[in-house]
Amino acid sequence: MKKSVLILLSFTMSIFVVAQESPKIKEVGIVFSSLDNFGLTFKIGKENSLWRFNTLLINGGNMEETLDSVVSKTSSVGFGFGFGKEYRKILVKNFELRFGADLSFRYIHQKSELNDNAVNGYDRSRNKTFYEPRFNLVFGFNYVINDQFIIGAEILPYFSYTFGSIDEIHSVDDKEMKTDISGFHYGLSNTSIMLSLGYRF
């Protein structure tokens, strides 16, 4: 009985301590890194320190090209997610500096097919799948429109490791080839610059 009372008392005290902390803010928003890359973001924390959770850069596409008797089709799909910590500092009224770091993971699958209708049995297909864990820094600015809406921009210098495989099939000899791929990448790219529109509640 005493043990149960102590556990209940400790739980009540912890709730009381949490209740005395500074009120938390929450933000949801959308992020863009180019016209065809977008994602969702959720942030929670204090005004000068927030945890960030992202569904990063959902993208995809399909394309078909025809040249005489040759028809080529390509498709791709990709998604990613990440989390990190963001700190903010007010520079002037309604204008904030933000900086921090993220850990993320990305998956991309690309498929291509080539068919030559003039040559019977000359088809070729290629599947490329790769995975990419990534670490990036965050450096950017916020413009606070009002108490609810925020516009932001940030650059994300990164370091990543990519691994996966390429599978190719040629119908002429029905031969299948598999190639393993891996490598390190770092720097800035067009997807390393991100714009955001957030709603605070």
29 domain-assigned: yes
**7 or 117, higher pLDDT:** 117
CATH number for the domain spanning 184: value is: 2.40.160
What is the average per-residue pLDDT within 161-183?
86
What b/e string do you get for 16-31 counting C-beta neighbours within 10 Å, with b at 16 or more? eeeeeeeeeeebebeb
Structural domain that includes position 105: 25-200
In a domain, 13, yes or no: no
pLDDT digits (tens, 9 = 90+) for 4-38: 444 444 544 544 444 445 568 899 999 887 766 77
| Contact of 48 with 88, CB cutoff 8 Å | yes
Reported as a single tens digit per residue, the pLDDT across 58-83 is 667 788 888 777 788 888 888 888 99
95 within some domain: yes
| pLDDT at residue 9, rounded to an integer | 46
What's 189's DSSP letter?
Answer: -
Domain count for the chain: 1
Q: Which residue has the tokens 């990709």?
A: 78
CA distance 34 to 166: 26
DSSP 8-state code for residue 148: S
Give me the residue label for tokens 């495989």: 165
The pLDDT, as a whole number, for residue 52 is 94
Is 4 inside any structural domain?
Answer: no
16 within a domain of the structure (yes/no): no
Q: Is 8 within the bounds of a domain?
A: no
